[in-house]
Amino acid sequence: MPKPFASSADTAAKEQTLEVLADGVYALTAEGDPNIGAVEGEDFVVCFEALATPVAAARWLAVLREHTDKPVRYLVLSHYHAVRVLGASAFDAETIVAHEATRALIAERGKEDWESEFARMPRLAEAADSVPGLTWPTLTFADRLTIDLGGDRGELVLQFHGRGHTEGDITLWLPRHRILFAGDLVEAQAALYTGDAFHRDWAGPTLDAVAGLRADQLVGGRGGVSRGRGEVDAAIAQTRGFLQAMLREVGGVRRRGGTLKEAFEATHAALVDDYGRWPIFEHCLPFDVSRLWDELGGVERPVVWTAARDREVWAQLQD
Ligand SMILES: [Zn+2]
C-alpha cells in the first residue's frame, strides 16, 4: 500500500505546553509540532516564530497572555518556512525581524512554499483562509542584531551562524540566562527537514557556531526543551548525526554511480532505527534526500518546492 503523502494522514491534535524557562522567558512546545517562544522586555514582548496561521497564533497568544499583557514590539522569524511565518498578522507586532536572505526567499519562493507546506501538513494549516498573505519582514540584518530588553533585563541577541536548514536561519540568544532558541537548526527528538538546506555547511561550521554558544537551555524547532548541557549537547549531536548519515549514504550512492531512488533507500535504512519513530521522519526523507542529491551534484541553491514537484518526488521515492 502506498504511504500517505507527506503528513496528510497526520490528523491527531498535539498537546501544547507552555514552559517558563526563566523569569519572562517562555517556550511553547507541542509534541513535535513547530515550537515557538517569547521573551519579556521591560515594557514589551519579543516573540519568536509565528506558527502557520493567525488562528493558530491567536491561540498561542491567549496562553501567553495569561503571563504577560505587554505589547509585541518585535516578532522574530527564524526562517521563511510557511508553517513558521504565516500566522504573523495575529501578533500585531511593531516590527517583524528576519535575516536579509529570508526576506529575499519570501520574495523568490514564499508563495510556492505556502502551497507546498499547507498541502504537506494540512493539520497545521488550521483556518487557512485566515492568512492574509505573505509575511514581510520590516527589519532585516546580515550577521547580528541586538535588542536591549530594558530595565535590568539585559540584551537579546539575534544571530546568523551560516547557511543551514535554509539560507537565512537565525537564532535568538539570551546571554544572561544562556537560553537559545535555535529554530530549525536544531531538533530535539524530531526528524530533520532538509529540503531547503545546505547540508555540508549545516553539519560543519554552522552547528559548530551554535554549539559554541554553550547554551544551558535550548529550544529547537521541534521537540521538547533541552535542559542542561547534557541535553543541549545531545540535541545538537543528534541533529549533526542525522546530517552526517545523510551525507555518508547519499554521497556513497552518488560516488558509485547509483540512482536517487537507491540513495533514498540507503539513507532510509541508515536512519530508520534511530530516527524512524520520531515526528515527520517519513514525511521529510524524500524531500531531504532529493535536495542533498542536488547539492552533491553541484546545484548550489535548493530547487523551489511546488505542490506539484512535491507529489512527483514523493511518487518517485516513497510510493
Ligand atoms: Zn523550517
What is the DSSP annotation of 176-235? TTTEEEEETTS-SSSPPP-TT--HHHIIIIIHHHHHHT--SEEEESSSPPEESHHHHHHH
Mean pLDDT over residues 114-125, rounded?
91
Q: How far does the centroid of ligand 1 lie from the alpha carbon of residue 193, in Å?
A: 7
Q: How far does the centroid of ligand 1 lie from the alpha carbon of residue 10, in Å?
A: 18
Distance of CA 22 to the CA centre of its chain: 23
Instruction: Return the pLDDT at 247.
Output: 98
Mean pLDDT over residues 72-81, rounded?
98
Q: How far does the centroid of ligand 1 lie from the alpha carbon of residue 58, in Å?
A: 21
> What are the Cα distances from residue 311, in Å, to 185, 192, 307?
26, 19, 7
Above 70 in pLDDT, residue 8? yes
Q: How far does the centroid of ligand 1 lie from the alpha carbon of residue 166, in Å?
A: 7
pLDDT in tens, 227-252: 999 999 999 999 999 999 999 999 99
Handedness of CA 292, 294, 300, 302 (dihedral sign): negative
Nearest to 102 by CA among 132, 135, 54, 145: 135
Instruction: Return the pLDDT at 275.
Output: 92
What is the band of 1 on the pLDDT scale with cuts at 50, 70, 90?
A: low
What is the band of 14 on the pLDDT scale with cuts at 50, 70, 90?
A: confident
Mean pLDDT over residues 104-108, rounded?
98
103 or 5, higher pLDDT = 103
Q: How far does the centroid of ligand 1 lie from the alpha carbon of residue 116, in Å?
A: 12
Q: How far does the centroid of ligand 1 lie from the alpha carbon of residue 79, in Å?
A: 7
Please give the helix or strand (H or E) that residue 260 lies within, else none.
helix 260-275
Mean pLDDT over residues 142-169, rounded?
98
Give the position of cell 521515492.
317
Q: How far does the centroid of ligand 1 lie from the alpha carbon of residue 106, in Å?
A: 13
Mean pLDDT over residues 182-200, rounded?
95
Q: How far does the centroid of ligand 1 lie from the alpha carbon of residue 42, in Å?
A: 30
Q: How far does the centroid of ligand 1 lie from the alpha carbon of residue 194, in Å?
A: 8
Instruction: Return the pLDDT at 123.
Output: 85
As a whole number of angstroms, the distance between CA 248 and CA 157 comes to 34
207 half-sphere exposure, CB direction, 13 A CA radius: 27
172 or 32, higher pLDDT = 172
Q: How far does the centroid of ligand 1 lie from the alpha carbon of residue 81, in Å?
A: 5
Above 90 in pLDDT, residue 16? no
Instruction: Return the pLDDT at 7.
Output: 77
Instruction: Return the pLDDT at 125.
Output: 87
Residues with CB under 5 A from ligand 1 (ion): 81, 184
Q: How far does the centroid of ligand 1 lie from the alpha carbon of residue 117, in Å?
A: 10
CB atoms within 10 A of CB 42: 12
- Using the 8-state DSSP alphabet, how is residue 14 labeled? P
Q: How far does the centroid of ligand 1 lie from the alpha carbon of residue 165, in Å?
A: 7
Mean pLDDT over residues 77-82, rounded?
98
The separation between the first and the last C-alpha atoms of the chain, rounded to the nearest angstrom, is 8
Which is it for strands 217-220 and 179-183: parallel, antiparallel or unpaired?
Answer: parallel
CB atoms within 10 A of CB 9: 12
Q: How far does the centroid of ligand 1 lie from the alpha carbon of residue 35, in Å?
A: 11
Mean pLDDT over residues 134-160, rounded?
98
Please give the helix or strand (H or E) that residue 314 lies within, else none.
helix 307-317
Q: How far does the centroid of ligand 1 lie from the alpha carbon of residue 38, in Å?
A: 18
User: Cβ(74)–Cβ(93) under 8 Å?
Assistant: yes
pLDDT in tens, 17-75: 899 999 999 999 988 889 999 999 999 999 999 999 999 999 999 999 999 999 999 99
Q: How far does the centroid of ligand 1 lie from the alpha carbon of residue 149, in Å?
A: 27
pLDDT in tens, 261-314: 999 999 999 999 999 988 889 989 999 999 999 999 999 999 999 999 999 999
Q: How far does the centroid of ligand 1 lie from the alpha carbon of residue 212, in Å?
A: 22
Mean pLDDT over residues 182-196, rounded?
95
User: Cβ(191)–Cβ(223) under 8 Å?
Assistant: no
Q: How far does the centroid of ligand 1 lie from the alpha carbon of residue 256, in Å?
A: 31
Question: What value, to the nearest 5°, has the Cα angle with vertex 119 and ends 118 and 124?
Answer: 40
Which is it for strands 155-160 and 170-174: parallel, antiparallel or unpaired?
Answer: antiparallel
User: Cβ(213)–Cβ(179) under 8 Å?
Assistant: no
Q: How far does the centroid of ligand 1 lie from the alpha carbon of residue 73, in Å?
A: 23
As a whole number of angstroms, the distance between CA 77 and CA 289 comes to 26
Above 80 in pLDDT, residue 104? yes
* CB-count burial class (<10 Å; 0-12, 13-18, 19+) for 56: buried
Q: What is the mean pLDDT of the chain?
A: 95
Instruction: Return the pLDDT at 252.
Output: 98
Give the position of cell 521537540.
223
3-state secondary structure of 181: strand
